[in-house]
Chain A
Amino acid sequence: MVFGWLLLGMICLIAACKPQQSSSNKPAISVQTIENKGSDTLVNLALSWAETYMQQNPEVRISVTGGGTGTGIAAMINGTVNIANASREMTPEEIAAAEANGIKPVEFAVARDAIAVVVNPSNPVNRLTLQQLSSIYTGEIINWKEVGGEDRPIVLLSRESNSGTYVYFLENVIRSGNKESDLLFSPDTLLMPSSEGISVEVRQNPNALGYDGLGYVTADQKVLAVAKNTRSPYVLPMIETVNDRSYPISRPLYVYTAGEPTGQVRTYLDWVLGDGQTLVSKLGFVPLN
């Protein structure tokens, strides 16, 4: 038994030594690495920024991973990444957790995103109001014929609850931006672990109703026009309609850094907010201004 604990102790020691070694090695490396993690909505855009920037600045290495806004922010708070990509603002709890860790997060808006509401191409429904979407997603309306479609059950698709898209959709569509509201997604909502999961189901299932970032909508899904209320016009999400704010479900996308960025991270973010904006519209997002 004693030997067993000794062995365990050794393993723990080895594990404890590792981070020290790597941190003492870091200054010796001439190529600087920027770790970038977070929102799956932003991941493709962040990748194309990183690739373009690395071509122009070979002395910088940028590694981009997804995993969800919550994952990215948690990693930024734990100090494992330099930049967290977020498709929502940080929550007060997350800011408190960061401050408890001695980190003051700094926010940068980097692009705008529209959330597209998608159905199977064979679905005759072309448009919905925000109120209808809310009633559908809370489980009040369960058949397509109640919103002018065929007599079919509605299958609700959503991203997992760690996605920023989920939180945004809940607060701004289901709860219509009303902070007092305690409406929730219907328990029958299918939570898909990825955008790919949503697009596969929407493509195959004529009953499906889903939502996802505009940059993720493929040609084989049908995008619905959405109206703020019954009196306002139905608007399809496009770069123009998002920029003039007439499309009702759009949001800013953020990156967060731990404290005011310095050095290469600062230079990179300045580039993202400047020249980098030309890449934004190529990926289906909407550039700032």
Chain B
Amino acid sequence: MLKIDYKETSLHRVGEFGIESAIRVLGFSSIGFVLLIFYFLLREGLPIFYEVPLSNFFGTRWYPTFALFGTMPLVLGSALVTITAIIISVPLGVATAVFVGEVAPDWAREILKPMIEVLAGIPSVVLGFFGMNFVAPFIRETLGAPTGLTVFAGGLILAYMALPTIISVAEDALDTIPESYRDAGLAMGATRWQTIWRVVVPAARSGIIVAVMLGIGRAIGETMVVMMVTGNAARMPLGLDSLFRPARTMTATIAAEMGEVAQGGVHYHALFGIGIILFLITFIINLTAASSIFSKRRRGGLR
């Protein structure tokens, strides 16, 4: 009896060890994959920095076929499209989250929440096609721009794509605020609006910032839609009218040109160089978000 018992425990231990190490392998391998991707990105992209002078790589004309690799129009194009999307989607998204989480009656919430999640599932190419055929002509006709394939059209559709993310994450953040906060606010004589705006939203601020950052991440990395609706003209978006002019983004450039380049050529390295820039930008955004969340936590989440 005792012998069998001992055997069972050792089997048990072996099994446990197996499962534990399997989980460890999976955990470490995901870090390994990220490191490998980063290594690959650097290996393919860094050569561009000594193959062409920096003044060329950070110049203002992107003409890879003729050895002009100025990435500035692409960086600014991406920035402008993303900022437009953020300006449209953040107020709308946070307000919707507050409405769904705090104001709407239960039956309305039951309908709204699944509908918002369905929005997130629309494939981007469908939205791009919609943008090309309906949004772009609408912008041209109502705003009098020469063409509707503009930064604004891209920003509008990206905002629409970022909305479900922002709404669901922000709504979850509001959901975690204890009921006692609201009770306390109301007991102090605050109106419902004051309670929501001065107590609940600030308390959920770190979660709302995460929501906004995830939304920005979605917008800056999106490729298909911007390729279809922003017109892909690599011009410097400096004038005041740039919002209603075409632009070319980093992601669309990589997607449109990667199929054509000779592997290991200068153009190929330049596209990976853009990848490095894009990676650095998203990395900085994530870092800022993380640090702002941590500093808020230390202060207890309330101002």
Known A-B contacts A3-B21, A3-B24, A155-B146; A68 and B259 likewise in contact (beta carbons under 8 Å): yes
| B104 at the binding interface (Cβ < 8 Å) | no
A201→B146 CA distance, assembly (Å): 11
A6→B29 CA distance, assembly (Å): 9
Partner of A162, one of B29, B232, B246, B256: B256
Partner of A7, one of B25, B260, B263: B25
Asked if A205 and B133 make an inter-chain contact with CB atoms under 8 angstroms apart, the answer reads no
Partner of B232, one of A70, A190, A204: A190
Q: Quick one: CB contact mask for A161-175 with B, threshold 8 Å, 1 for yes?
A: 110000100100000
Asked if B28 and A4 make an inter-chain contact with CB atoms under 8 angstroms apart, the answer reads yes
Asked if A188 and B66 make an inter-chain contact with CB atoms under 8 angstroms apart, the answer reads no
Known A-B contacts A191-B232, A191-B233; A200 and B132 likewise in contact (beta carbons under 8 Å): yes
Asked if B228 and A197 make an inter-chain contact with CB atoms under 8 angstroms apart, the answer reads yes
- A154 shortest CB reach to chain B, Å: 8
Asked if B61 and A155 make an inter-chain contact with CB atoms under 8 angstroms apart, the answer reads no
| A208 at the binding interface (Cβ < 8 Å) | yes
Q: Quick one: CB contact mask for B112-143 with A, threshold 8 Å, 1 for yes?
A: 00000000000000000000110011001000
In the complex, what residues of B have CB within 8 A of residue A154's CB? 146
- B44 shortest CB reach to chain A, Å: 16
By beta carbon, the residue of chain B nearest A96 is B262
In the complex, what residues of B have CB within 8 A of residue A193's CB? 227-228, 232, 256
Interface residues of A in 59-108 (CB under 8 A from B): 67-68, 70-71, 74, 77-78, 93-94, 97
Asked if B66 and A184 make an inter-chain contact with CB atoms under 8 angstroms apart, the answer reads yes
| B235 at the binding interface (Cβ < 8 Å) | yes
B interface residue count range (under 10 / 10 to 19 / 20 to 34 / 35 or more): 35 or more
Asked if B236 and A187 make an inter-chain contact with CB atoms under 8 angstroms apart, the answer reads yes
A276→B257 CA distance, assembly (Å): 32
| B154 at the binding interface (Cβ < 8 Å) | no
| A51 at the binding interface (Cβ < 8 Å) | no
Asked if B28 and A187 make an inter-chain contact with CB atoms under 8 angstroms apart, the answer reads no
- B197 shortest CB reach to chain A, Å: 44
Interface residues of B in 19-67 (CB under 8 A from A): 21, 24-25, 28-29, 31-33, 36, 61, 63-66
- A120 shortest CB reach to chain B, Å: 11
| B157 at the binding interface (Cβ < 8 Å) | no
A-B contact pairs, 26 of them (CB 8 A): A1-B32, A4-B29, A8-B33, A8-B36, A67-B259, A68-B259, A74-B262, A93-B265, A94-B262, A97-B262, A153-B146, A162-B256, A162-B260, A167-B65, A182-B66, A187-B61, A187-B233, A190-B232, A190-B233, A191-B231, A192-B232, A197-B132, A197-B228, A201-B147, A205-B137, A208-B147
The chain B residues found within 8 Å of chain A, CB to CB, are: 21, 24-25, 28-29, 31-33, 36, 61, 63-66, 73, 132-133, 136-137, 140, 146-149, 227-228, 231-236, 245-246, 248, 256-257, 259-263, 265
Closest 7 CB pairs of A and B: A162-B260, A70-B260, A4-B28, A3-B25, A190-B231, A153-B146, A191-B232
Known A3-B25, A154-B146, A190-B232; 9 more pairs at CB < 8 Å: A67-B259, A161-B260, A162-B260, A184-B66, A190-B149, A190-B233, A193-B232, A201-B149, A204-B137
